[in-house]
Structure 1
Amino acid sequence: MSVTSEETPTRLTDAQVGEMLALARDADSVELKLTVPDSHRRQTAVALGVDPLDAQIRQVYFFDTPDLALNAVGVVVRARRVQGRGDDSVVKLRPVVPADVQAERTSDNLVVEVDAMPGGFVCSASMKGALGPKAVKQVAAGSKRIRSLFSKEQRQFYAAHAPDGVALDDLSTLGPITVFKLKLRPLELSTRLVAEVWFYPDGSRIVELSAKAVPSEAFQAAAELRAFLAAKGLDVSGEQQTKTKTALEFFAAELTAAQPAAGPG
Structure 2
Amino acid sequence: MTGPVPVEQPAGQVPAGRPDRASVEAGHRIHDLLPVLIRAPRVDLRFVVPDEVRRPVHDALGIDPLRGRISQVFLLDTPALALTSRGVAVRARRVQDRRGQATVTHRHLPPSQVPTAVRSASSFDASVDVVPEGFVCSASLVHPVDDALVRRAACGRTRVTRLFSKRQRRFYAAHDPDGPALHRLVMLGPLHVVQHKARLPELDRPLRAQQWFFPDGSRRVELSVRCSPDEAFDVTRAVKDCVASRGLELTGDKETLVRRAVMQLLASGGAL
The TM-score, its normalising length taken from structure 1, stands at 0.82
Cα RMSD of the aligned pairs, angstroms, is 2.6
**In the alignment, structure 1 residue 99 sits paired with structure 2 residue 107:** no
Deviations along 1:171-221, whole A, 9 cap, x unmatched? 111111100110111233101111111001111111222222211112222
Partner Cα separation in structure 2 for residue 21 and residue 219 of structure 1: 7
1:142/1:52 Cα in 2 relative to 1: closer, same or farther (>3 Å)? same
Q: Is the 8 A contact 1:70 1:163 kept in 2?
A: no
| Aligned partner letter, 1:235 | L
1:60/1:93 Cα in 2 relative to 1: closer, same or farther (>3 Å)? same
The alignment-based identity, stated in percent, is 40
Deviations along 1:202-244, whole A, 9 cap, x unmatched? 1111122222221111222223223333443x133x5325321
Q: Which of the residues 219, 222, 225 maps onto 1:205?
A: 219
Q: Is the 8 A contact 1:2 1:95 kept in 2?
A: no
Alignment of 1:229-244 (within 5 A): 229-232=243-246, 234-236=247-249, 238-240=250-252, 242-244=256-258
Partner Cα separation in structure 1 for residue 28 and residue 194 of structure 2: 36
| Aligned partner letter, 1:184 | A
Partner Cα separation in structure 2 for residue 230 and residue 112 of structure 1: 25
Partner Cα separation in structure 2 for residue 212 and residue 198 of structure 1: 20
1:159/1:255 Cα in 2 relative to 1: closer, same or farther (>3 Å)? farther
Q: Is the 8 A contact 2:28 2:134 kept in 1?
A: no
Match of 2:81 in 1: 68
Q: Is the 8 A contact 1:27 1:114 kept in 2?
A: no
Partner Cα separation in structure 2 for residue 53 and residue 59 of structure 1: 17
Partner Cα separation in structure 1 for residue 121 and residue 47 of structure 2: 30
Q: Which of the residues 165, 169, 182 maps onto 1:155?
A: 169
Q: Secondary structure, in 3 states, of the residue corresponding to 2:97?
A: coil
For residue 27 of structure 1, report the CA deviation from its aligned partner: 2.7
| Aligned partner letter, 1:39 | E
1:130/1:102 Cα in 2 relative to 1: closer, same or farther (>3 Å)? same
Partner Cα separation in structure 1 for residue 156 and residue 28 of structure 2: 48
Partner Cα separation in structure 1 for residue 191 and residue 158 of structure 2: 20
Match of 2:261 in 1: 247
Alignment of 1:1-265 (within 5 A): 2-3=5-6, 16-17=29-30, 19-40=32-53, 42-103=55-116, 104-164=118-178, 166-232=180-246, 234-236=247-249, 238-240=250-252, 242-255=256-269
Partner Cα separation in structure 1 for residue 240 and residue 262 of structure 2: 30
Partner Cα separation in structure 2 for residue 22 and residue 240 of structure 1: 23
Q: Is the 8 A contact 2:58 2:65 kept in 1?
A: no
Q: How many pairs are equivalent?
A: 246
Q: Is the 8 A contact 2:42 2:229 kept in 1?
A: yes
Deviates more, 1:126-135 or 1:220-229: 220-229
For residue 115 of structure 1, report the CA deviation from its aligned partner: 2.7
Deviations along 1:7-64, whole A, 9 cap, x unmatched? xxxxxx9853454332122333333333333332753322322111110001001111
Q: Is the 8 A contact 1:31 1:116 kept in 2?
A: no
Q: Structure 2: which 5+ residue stretches go unaligned?
A: 8-25
Q: Is the 8 A contact 2:41 2:229 kept in 1?
A: yes
Partner Cα separation in structure 2 for residue 146 and residue 239 of structure 1: 33
Partner Cα separation in structure 1 for residue 125 and residue 49 of structure 2: 26
| Aligned partner letter, 1:180 | V
Runs of 4+ in 1 over 6 A off after TM superposition: none
Partner Cα separation in structure 1 for residue 239 and residue 31 of structure 2: 21
1:195/1:108 Cα in 2 relative to 1: closer, same or farther (>3 Å)? closer
